Amino acid sequence: MARGEARDIRRKIRATEKMSQITKAMNMVSASKLRKAEKVIKEYRPFIQYVQNTIAQILNSNLEITHKMLQKREVKRTGYLLITSDRGLAGGYNNNLIKKFESDVKTKHQSTDEYVIGVLGQKGHRYFVYKDVNLININPINMRDDVQFIDIIDIIQLLIDMYLIGEIDEIIIYYNKYINTIKQEVTAERIIPIEKIEGEKKSILYEFEPSPQKVLDTLMPIYVQNLIYGYILNAKTSEHASRMTAMKSATDNAEEVIDKLTLHYNRARQAQITQEITEIVSGAAALK
């Protein structure tokens, strides 16, 4: 094997080693972000549970009390909210969600007039902004690692308002549900109308001022906003887990490639040394 070929193999080994170092570092960064995201979800749960318990107490105290978000109606138009990411290198995190959504829409709807779409994240927005769909957010909404409620409240409130005034008849959210660090599932959840709100089993006495209905009217939008925010936190956790897994696989693949290239390099060096020895022996024999 030629000297130049061995040199090329060595160059590929060095390039792959550098790539392996990058993917390994990204894996460690994603693991750190995953732990932080899990902590945020844990801290978020008591609040949403408290609001849910309060709403359940109001509804159980008087069966005549209700809200538009609890009432089913004929579905003529659907509002979708898709949670994607700003960055790639996360395996099939975005592609799987978009494929699932498009498959469901194709089955459920006859035309684009039957639904509107809101998209969180640069990846999803770049995909749908050039599609023939009713996209309600013309400008992209960033999904940074430290998800802030203020970043996403506008599009959430827009969908809620569209439901309340009758422009849409249901709101469905598509996101990657976090199961564990290895498994994330693309999931569709109908947010509104809310079918059932369950509170704690123990009975708690409340006094509602100015009235139970007024309190319910105030709490329901807050509950839905934070319910969606919880799904967004879950999706962000899935993103970190997906990226961590993808970078771990990339690192493993790089190390496998390095092993194979090293084997080829050693064979090339051995062939080169053998050739040089043969040339020296032949030259010495020719001088005799």
Please report, for the chain, the start and end positions of each structural domain, with discontinuous segments joined by +. Answer: 29-244
At residue 201, the pLDDT reads 57
Residue 246: pLDDT band (50, 70, 90) is: very high
Q: Is 216 exposed, middle or buried (0-12, 13-18, 19+ CB in 10 A)?
A: buried
Mean pLDDT over 247-254 rounds to: 92
At residue 4, the pLDDT reads 67
- Strand 184-192 and strand 170-178: pairing? antiparallel
Say which CATH topology domain 29-244 has: Pyruvate Kinase; Chain: A, domain 1 (3.40.1380)
CB 108 within 8 A of CB 86: no
Residue count of the chain, please give it: 288
Summarize pLDDT for 137-172 with one digit per residue, the tens: 988 898 888 888 888 899 999 999 999 999 999 999
**pTM of the model as a whole:** 0.84
Summarize pLDDT for 11-20 with one digit per residue, the tens: 888 999 999 9
Summarize pLDDT for 57-77 with one digit per residue, the tens: 888 777 678 888 888 889 999
Bridge-partner residues for 187, per DSSP? Answer: 175
At residue 60, the pLDDT reads 78
At residue 158, the pLDDT reads 93
Summarize pLDDT for 230-243 with one digit per residue, the tens: 999 999 999 999 99
Q: Which of 64, 78, 60, 45 is nearest to 196 (CA)?
A: 60
Chain mean position to CA 155: 18
